[in-house]
Amino acid sequence: MSKRELDGQAKEKLVSIARRWYEQMTEGATPSISLPSRTKRNIEYDDETEVWKYGDRESVRSASTAKSALHLLKMAYVISFLKTQIHENRSSTLRELYYISESWKRAKFSAQDESNFLIEDLEILTDMQREAFHLRPEDDGATIFGPLQLKELTRRGDRTIHCQEDVGEAGYQIPNNVENIELLDHDAQFIIAIETGGMYARLIENGFDSEFNAILVHLKGQPARSTRRMLNRINERFELPVLVFTDGDPWSYRIYASVAYGAIKSAHMSELLATPKAQFIGVQPSDIRDYNLPSDRLTERDVAALESELTDPRFFTDYWKTQINLQLKLNLKSEQQAFAAKGLDFVTREYLPHRLSEMGVI
C-alpha cells in the first residue's frame, strides 16, 4: 500500500468513529464506543499464534456518564488533530500530543498516560498502528548491521540501502514507521537481536556479521515497537531464523518474550509485532555455571520476577522451567559482556558458534 493510500485509510477510519457517534445521535441513542476490556483477566495467550491477545470481554464507554462523556470529548479532539496532521503530512510525538491538549480546555489530558491510553483505544477501534496516524515515540529506533538490502521512502524519494556497505559503524537506524520500507534482498543465514550496545559493537568489530552472514539488530534494551515490527517483517519476508541474545537475568528474559510472543500492553498488535519463531540464544543460567562467568547475586526483586515467570505462559516449556529453576538454585545473574573475562574474541569465536551449532542454526 502506498503512503497516500495508507494516509487516506487512516483518515477515513478515524473519521468513521465520529461518524458513528453522529449516527447514534440521529437515531436517538447516546454516543458510545465498545472496546476490549484492558485488564489482566482479559489478556489471553493464544496457543495457535503463540502471542498475547485480548479476550472476548468488552467494556462500553457511553456519554451517559460524565466520566465517559469526557473521554469521548477528548477522543473527538484527538481525532480532529490527527486528521489534520495526516492531511498536512506532519507528525508529532506522543509527548507533544499530550502538551498540545493544553489548549483543549476541558478536553485537556491530566497526564501523558491518559493520552497514551487513548491512542491505544484508537489503534483498537481502527485496527491500525499509531504510526499510521503520524505519531512517533520519543526514543530513536534501534539499528541494523548486516547483509540486508532495503528500499526506504525518504523526503527526497526512494533510497536503496545496503545495511553493511552503505552505513557507518553504528548501522542503519530503524525509522519509527517501518511500513514504508521495502525489504529487497539478503545474504544472511540468520538474524541475531542483541540487548546491549556494547555486545552489538563487539560483534561488528569482530566481523561476526561477515563471517557468519548474520544480520545484527541492536534492541537497545526493551525493544521499541518499530524494532519488533522490523524483526517480524524480516522473518516473514525471508524466513530467516531470529535469535535473541540478552543478559542472563529475569528482566532480559522478558525482552526475549516481548520479541517472541508480544507484550501484554500491546496485545492488540501482537500479530504484527511478535515473532513467535524467535529463539533464545543466551545468556542462559547454565552458561553462568558452565563458563564460570563473572556474576552478581540475585536480588529479592530478581527472585520474585523469576518465580513470576514460572507461572507465565510464555515460559511454559521444559527448557525455561529447567533454566529458571537452575538460576534460582545458583542465585546468580550475569551480563552479556561478562564473556569478555575470557577474552574479547571468545563470544564470537567460541560461545556464539557453539550455541548456533547446538541450536541447529549453522
Q: Please list the active-site residues.
A: 99
User: If 0-12 CB within 10 Å is exposed, 13-18 middle and 19+ buried, where does residue 144 land?
Assistant: buried
Count CB neighbours of 226 within 10 A: 23
* Coil, helix or strand at residue 207: coil
How far apart are alpha carbons 76 and 81 in whole angstroms? 9
CA 181 to centroid of chain Cα atoms: 17
Three cell numbers at 127?
485496527
Q: Where are the alpha helices (DSSP H) in 262-344?
A: 270-273, 285-290, 300-309, 318-330
Q: Cα 53–140–207 angle (5° rounding)?
A: 100
* Coil, helix or strand at residue 29: coil
The 10 Å CB-count burial string (b at 16+, else e) for 235-268 is beeeebbbbbbbbbbbebbbbbbbbbbbbbebbb
Count CB neighbours of 34 within 10 A: 11
CB 286 within 8 A of CB 334: no
Which residue, among 286, 359, 295, has the nearest Cα to 324 in the 3D structure?
A: 286
